[in-house]
Chain A
Amino acid sequence: MVAQFIGKNKLNMKETVRNYFSFIGLLIVTVVFEFLTEGNLLQPRNLMNIFNNFFSIGLGAMGVVFLMSLGELDLSVGAIAGLSAALASYAGQINLALILPVAILTGLAIGLLNGVMIARLRVESFIGTLAMSFVVRGITTWLLNGSVGIPVSMRVFDQNSVKIFVFVALLVALFLLFEFSAYGKQCRSVGASADAARQSGVKVEKVRTMAFVISGLMCGLVGFFSLVRTCTASSKTGNAFEFDVLLAVLFGGMPLTGGWPVKFRAAILGSIAMSVMKNGMSLMGIDGLTQQIVEGVILIAIVVIAFDRKSANVIK
């Protein structure tokens, strides 16, 4: 009625910016870098480079959408990818057919551990997954003691057609799961208010655990594809992957607090934008440290523009 309409217009403006932000951001990044690299950015061959980069970040980002809609974080994604690649390469010594299943199962298993730790033992996800990443990386290093290779015949999986197919299939499946299934809506509900969700009959612990399992699964796949691309698994596989993924989703406008404002497209658009940025900077010959500075500055700019800082918490 009266007086409830205060500030509603202001809210709409911010909502609009946030909603379109991911699109606008991507467009700006693409145009800027196309210009700065004198047209090299959108050459077909380079687009494949972008796609390769985008492939892993995209898989990782899609994997974390669910747990981020719960308001959680997963800092162990890189470590899981590394361990999956390592175990898979050892499995490959026994039988080539085991490589893919072992990679996926490793991801699932660690994801499940994360889920149980966070949902049932109630460990804060930021700390829990960070600790898990140390443990898992340690195991990986101990296992590998350097690097392990797999037969080159596995490289057949590194083809672009395979990757595109896999990516699109996963994209469709996860998109449907997130936006249109009961599970996806339950995730967002728990993120919005765990108490309210529980009192509406949602199995909160199961939902939370499942989200981490999904993330783990995707990381297993990322590990697999990294393995077949270089045919090498090393303790450095997946290094800093979690930051790439986190940056990508933030760049796509993912709210850290989770809940209903979370949109699936944040993962995709953000990953594309990240890949375009990284690739563009490479093409321009910018060295690694400067790239980091640029990424950091852009991240701060995003937070300032698009985030509702009053309700955002990184560590709850």
Chain B
Amino acid sequence: MKKVLSLILAITLAVSTLAGCSNNAGTASGTSSAPTSSAVSGQNPKKFKIGFPWATSSTDPTFVSIVTNVKAAVESAGGELVLVESDLTADSLVNNVSDLISRGVDGIIFMPASDSMLPTVDRMCSDAGVYYSTMFRTISDTTIRNQIYSSKYFAGGCNEDDEKCAYNITKTLSSQGVKNLCVINIAKGDTSSDLRDSGVAKAVKETGIKLLNTTYGITVQTDMTKTIESYIAAYPEMDGILIAGTYCPAALPTIEKALSDHNLAGKIKVGRIDFDFTMGQYFANKSFNVAYGGQQQIDPLLSTVILVNSVIGTPIVKDKPFILVTNYLELTSKSEADNFLTYFLGDTPVYTSDEIKKNLIKFYNSNINEDTFKKTVDSFTVADVAARHKDLVKK
């Protein structure tokens, strides 16, 4: 009896696996929407689904606000957001993309973990007729970039000039008096990491700051504390710490605590790329000095908007992916930080669904083009969001 059962099970599995094998290309998922012809105003685009692999278990306000903004973009054209949990490694992301495709999404927005995972994603999406776009990253490798940029299903995405940003913030720190700098960056191999490194290097060369040390890939608070403490111990001449990037949650408070434990808060200048919701208090007591960021909401939002436009048949740029460079905003005061907290990290996205629908969805307004987006990016500041949403958001 055991043998019969195992034989039946084995045969069933083999048959269905082989069936799946031959049946691979687009037939199965059902709702791959081909690009329809251009919009007729007054109507609404066909219902669609956008998949988003993200660290949904994180409660960090920045992580949550990213979801809020992506959602706003998706719903502005009447779509549905499909969230899946991911630990954001290349392995998981590839599996997430595969799962999302099975769930019949029409487009996928994600943050790539590396350049080399993109061809795999491209193959899967192209086979299934699913559009995709990226957020926060460029592609450094030329071969891969050429391949992806010529893919029909790559809608584009936003990224920041990481190098320029790192260059600017280092120069600002220098103007604030920093002469000996330690850096904390995200793991090597991540394109942003490399770009920020070179930005810092450029600024350091120009300003004559001494770059003491860089640590990569800290993701846990205890490791952060240890790193800061070893910097303090090894470099008594250190007068500036730049957090060029980290996935460590509550990074700023952790560092501030380490500094204040050693009575160095306020004496060592601290700067950070990527805003932090705790910035305000540290600005106030002058232990935190400059932050570059604000792109963490606009980037995913606009990346998703680009994707949505392609999915509903009104791509912003025809036959080419739309790559948009978004700016970093500079913050140096408590009031700016407070505004940031209220308007960027609250429940409201930096552009509401209605605002997006009116200004950025080509389906409803065929005059929208690349320039519209570039103008949006240029006019985007903390003050701008505060002005637009001051009646919307409860303080």
Cβ–Cβ < 8 Å partners of B119 in chain A:
152, 155, 231
Q: Does A93 contact B (CB under 8 A)?
A: no
B20 and A288 within 8 A (CB): no
CA distance A43 to B91 in the complex (A): 23
Q: Does B87 contact A (CB under 8 A)?
A: yes
Stretch at the interface among A190-198, A201-209, A277-285, A301-309: A277-285
Q: Does A145 contact B (CB under 8 A)?
A: yes
A237 and B116 within 8 A (CB): no
Q: Does B323 contact A (CB under 8 A)?
A: no
A42 and B16 within 8 A (CB): yes
CA distance A43 to B189 in the complex (A): 37
Are A283 and B94 also in contact (CB < 8 A) when A145-B217, A230-B120, A289-B57 are? Answer: no
A145 and B82 within 8 A (CB): no
CA distance A2 to B123 in the complex (A): 70
Are A150 and B116 also in contact (CB < 8 A) when A43-B28, A226-B91 are? Answer: yes
Q: Does A148 contact B (CB under 8 A)?
A: yes
Residues of B within 8 A of A (CB): 2, 5-6, 9, 13, 16-17, 19-21, 23-24, 28-29, 56-57, 82-87, 89-91, 93-95, 98-99, 101-103, 113-117, 119-120, 123, 128, 141, 143-144, 147, 187-190, 193, 216-217
Cβ–Cβ < 8 Å partners of B128 in chain A:
45
Most buried by B among A158, A160, A236: A236
B102 and A49 within 8 A (CB): yes
Q: Does A146 contact B (CB under 8 A)?
A: yes
Cβ–Cβ < 8 Å partners of A20 in chain B:
2, 5
Question: Which chain A residue has the least Cβ–Cβ distance from B56?
Answer: A287
B216 and A231 within 8 A (CB): no
Please tell me which one of the listed residues A160, A229, A289 contacts residue B94 in the complex, with CB atoms under 8 A apart: A229
Cβ–Cβ < 8 Å partners of B87 in chain A:
236, 239, 288
Please tell me which one of the listed residues A23, A47, A279 contacts residue B9 in the complex, with CB atoms under 8 A apart: A23
Q: Does A261 contact B (CB under 8 A)?
A: no
Q: What are 19 A-B pairs with beta-carbon distances under 8 A?
A: A20-B2, A23-B6, A44-B16, A48-B98, A49-B95, A53-B95, A145-B216, A146-B193, A147-B90, A147-B187, A149-B115, A155-B123, A229-B91, A230-B93, A234-B90, A234-B114, A237-B91, A288-B56, A288-B86
Are A147 and B21 also in contact (CB < 8 A) when A44-B28, A49-B99, A283-B103 are? Answer: no
A158 and B120 within 8 A (CB): yes
CB 8 Å contact bits of A281-301 with B (1 = contact, 0 = none): 011010111010000000000
Please tell me which one of the listed residues A230, A265, A285 contacts residue B6 in the complex, with CB atoms under 8 A apart: A265
CA distance A237 to B90 in the complex (A): 9
Are A230 and B83 also in contact (CB < 8 A) when A44-B19, A45-B102, A46-B102 are? Answer: no
A283 and B102 within 8 A (CB): yes
A-B interface, 4 closest residue pairs, ranked by CB to CB distance from nearest: A146-B188, A146-B189, A149-B116, A45-B28
A145 and B188 within 8 A (CB): yes
Given A47-B17, A232-B116, 10 other A-B contacts at CB below 8 A?
Answer: A40-B103, A47-B16, A51-B17, A145-B189, A149-B116, A152-B116, A230-B114, A231-B119, A234-B113, A283-B102
B84 and A282 within 8 A (CB): yes
A contact patch SS: helix
CB 8 Å contact bits of A33-60 with B (1 = contact, 0 = none): 0000000101111111101110000000
Q: Does A26 contact B (CB under 8 A)?
A: yes
A48 and B113 within 8 A (CB): no
Cβ–Cβ < 8 Å partners of B82 in chain A:
285
Cβ–Cβ < 8 Å partners of A283 in chain B:
99, 102-103
A149 and B114 within 8 A (CB): yes
CA distance A11 to B304 in the complex (A): 61
B116 and A231 within 8 A (CB): yes
Most buried by B among A20, A44, A52, A291: A44
Please tell me which one of the listed residues A48, A147, A285 contacts residue B189 in the complex, with CB atoms under 8 A apart: A147
A146 and B116 within 8 A (CB): no
Question: Which chain B residue has the least Cβ–Cβ distance from A147?
Answer: B189
A19 and B2 within 8 A (CB): yes
CA distance A144 to B123 in the complex (A): 26
B9 and A44 within 8 A (CB): no
Give the residues from 153 to 170 in chain A that come closer than 8 angstroms, CB to CB, to chain B.
Answer: 155, 158, 160-161, 164
Output the least CB separation between B172 and chain A (Å): 27
Q: Does A99 contact B (CB under 8 A)?
A: no
Cβ–Cβ < 8 Å partners of A230 in chain B:
90-91, 93-94, 114, 116-117, 120
Please tell me which one of the listed residues A158, A164, A272, A282 contacts residue B99 in the complex, with CB atoms under 8 A apart: A282
CA distance A232 to B121 in the complex (A): 13
CB 8 Å contact bits of A96-118 with B (1 = contact, 0 = none): 00000000000000000000000
Please tell me which one of the listed residues B6, B98, B102, B190 contacts residue A146 in the complex, with CB atoms under 8 A apart: B190
Question: Which chain B residue has the least Cβ–Cβ distance from A43?
Answer: B28
Are A232 and B20 also in contact (CB < 8 A) when A146-B193, A146-B217, A288-B87 are? Answer: no
Cβ–Cβ < 8 Å partners of A42 in chain B:
16
Give the residues from 211 to 268 in chain A that come closer than 8 angstroms, CB to CB, to chain B.
Answer: 226, 229-232, 234-237, 239, 265
A43 and B102 within 8 A (CB): yes
Cβ–Cβ < 8 Å partners of A265 in chain B:
6
A51 and B103 within 8 A (CB): no
Question: Which chain A residue has the least Cβ–Cβ distance from B22?
Answer: A44
Question: Which chain A residue has the least Cβ–Cβ distance from B123?
Answer: A155
Cβ–Cβ < 8 Å partners of B57 in chain A:
287-289
A164 and B21 within 8 A (CB): yes
CA distance A47 to B116 in the complex (A): 25
CA distance A146 to B120 in the complex (A): 20
Cβ–Cβ < 8 Å partners of B20 in chain A:
44-48, 51
A236 and B2 within 8 A (CB): no
Cβ–Cβ < 8 Å partners of A152 in chain B:
116, 119, 143-144, 147
Output the least CB separation between B162 and chain A (Å): 15
Are A52 and B120 also in contact (CB < 8 A) when A23-B9, A146-B217 are? Answer: no
